[in-house]
């Protein structure tokens, strides 16, 4: 079976960036994605730029648009109001994230998951194949994911990783822990090696020395896009052969490499009609 893809975008901060985002959405919607997600801008999920981006993406595509909603800086009443507003706008899927866990108004992410589920919005949550860097232990991290499942989560998208075995071992641990929700690997094409190193350090993502040297050399030799495509395609192919049917690509608002990955994995490109308001 041909795998299904979903794509993540973030709110643009300039007119030029907005045009690039629109172009990327226009390209990637042809792969009939399961959904397109929009991350929270600065200040959480309810800020105006995030809302505008969600509306703009929704106008370009007929596929579901899934906003990221964070529980870390909001009260339960704030979250209920936000979720009801999204439900009224026809949102059917959302990513429920913890966000700023140190915020004074912090609400457990399980409460957000429950609120989404009871308002007819399918909650997707986050998972860490190499354990959340702030988790007390790998077991407690699995307990947290199980609690989100019990609260109504339908799927979990993982933090990015660079070895297929990382995800497959994580999947095995989840099964053994009674976690049965869909696990979707998060794929990050490495086009900016320095930025990827910083993100990997913050997220606790391992980069093997030989792979790190390969990325660094590709960056020096101006063939980062080729390396990124080859590495991501090889990993996705290994995972697909191991039974993985869905992939979530962190696009960084760029379409060329995500499109190449989809094509290499056999995803058929259609030219959909533009959605009419």
Q: Which residues are catalytic?
A: 8
- List alpha helices for the chain, DSSP H: 15-28, 48-60, 76-88, 109-118, 138-151, 164-176, 193-203, 209-220, 224-241, 256-264
Please, how many CA atoms are within 13 Å of residue 236, restricted to the half-sphere of its CB?
29
Token duo for residue 235: 């990993």
Going 202 to 203 to 204 to 205, the CA torsion angle's sign is negative
Cα–Cα distance measured from residue 258 to residue 187, given in angstroms and rounded to the nearest whole number: 9
| CA dist., res. 37 & res. 144, Å (int) | 23
Tokens coding 99: 């966000």
- Are 157 and 95 a contacting pair, CB within 8 Å? yes
Q: Is the dihedral of CA 79, 183, 203, 33 positive or negative?
A: negative
Looking up tokens 């979530």, which residue turns up?
248
The token duo for 253 is 């608002």
How far is the C-alpha of 142 from the C-alpha of 135, rounded, in Å? Answer: 9
User: In b/e form, how buried is each residue of 141-180, taking b as 16+ CB within 10 angstroms?
Assistant: bbebbbebbebbbbbbbbbbbbbbebbbebbebbeeeebe
Q: Calculate the alpha carbon distances from 162 to 176, 189, 203, 265, 274 in Å.
A: 23, 10, 13, 17, 35
């Amino acid at each position: 079976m041909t795998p299904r893809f979903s794509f993540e975008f973030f709110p643009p901060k300039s007119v030029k960036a907005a045009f690039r985002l629109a172009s990327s959405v226009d390209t990637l919607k042809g792969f009939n994605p399961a959904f397109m997600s929009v991350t929270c801008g600065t200040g959480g999920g309810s800020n105006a730029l995030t809302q505008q981006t969600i509306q703009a993406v929704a106008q370009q595509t007929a596929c579901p648009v899934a906003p990221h909603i964070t529980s870390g800086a909001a009260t339960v009443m704030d979250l209920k109001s936000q979720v009801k507003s999204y439900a009224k706008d026809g949102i059917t899927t959302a990513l429920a994230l913890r966000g700023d866990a140190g915020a004074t108004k912090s609400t457990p992410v399980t409460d957000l998951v429950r609120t989404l589920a009871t308002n007819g919005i399918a909650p997707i949550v986050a998972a860490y194949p190499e354990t959340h860097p702030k988790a007390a232990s790998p077991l407690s991290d699995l307990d947290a994911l199980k609690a989100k499942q019990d609260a109504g989560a339908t799927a979990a998208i993982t933090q990015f990783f660079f070895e297929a075995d990382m995800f497959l071992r994580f999947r095995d641990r989840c099964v053994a822990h009674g976690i049965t929700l869909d696990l979707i690997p998060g794929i990050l094409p490495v086009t900016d090696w320095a930025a990827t190193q910083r993100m990997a350090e913050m997220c606790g993502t391992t980069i093997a020395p030989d792979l790190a040297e390969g990325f660094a050399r590709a960056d020096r030799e101006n063939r980062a896009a080729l390396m990124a495509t080859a590495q991501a395609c090889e990993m996705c192919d290994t995972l697909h052969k191991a039974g993985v049917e869905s992939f979530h690509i962190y696009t960084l608002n760029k379409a060329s490499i995500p499109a190449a990955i989809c094509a290499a994995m056999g995803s058929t490109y259609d030219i959909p009609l533009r959605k009419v308001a």
